[in-house]
Amino acid sequence: MSMLDAARDVRERAYAPYSKFKVGAAIRGKSGAIYQGCNVENAAYPEGTCAEAGAIAAMVAAGETELVEVCVIADSPVPVTPCGGCRQKLVEFGRDDVQVRMATTDGEEMTMTLAELLPGAFQKSQMDRS
């Protein structure tokens, strides 16, 4: 299954009763395995959790901590970028040059690197005092 197909597939299972805005994400770990995530809303937190965070959680639960590729899809007029919190989470597990492919259900696409999505990202190295 391609990354786009994996993101499209999981998007259909998103739980978005409030916004009706379903998002699917697929992340490829360094092992080559693909992990999926979708947004999940609830009454107390109607904006819900993000698809990318769900895919990262699945990857970590499987024992991987490095991602090498990301794909996100939504039914929107233009490709949707990951939210700010998810950008930081993606940077935590991926290198600056990791490609993030963003797509619409109509076929429009945009690709950016993690560094382009989150310039000046907080890095673990900033806490190191040698």
Residue in 84, 80, 118 with CA at minimum distance from that of residue 98: 118
Residue 39, marked binder: yes
Residue 38, marked binder: no
Residue 86, marked binder: yes
In the block, tokens 């299954």 appear at: 1
Listing DSSP states for 103-121 in one string gives EETTS-EEEEEHHHHSTT-
Residue 40, marked binder: yes
Residue 26, marked binder: no
Residue 71, marked binder: no
100-13-11 Cα angle (round to 5) = 25
The residues, ordered by sequence, that sit 6+ positions from 59 with a Cβ below 8 Å of its Cβ are 27, 29, 33, 35, 65, 67, 93
Residues marked as catalytic: 52
Residue 43, marked binder: yes
**Annotated binding-site ranges for Zn(2+):** 50, 83, 86
**Annotated binding-site ranges for substrate:** 39-45
**Annotated binding-site ranges:** 39-45, 50, 83, 86
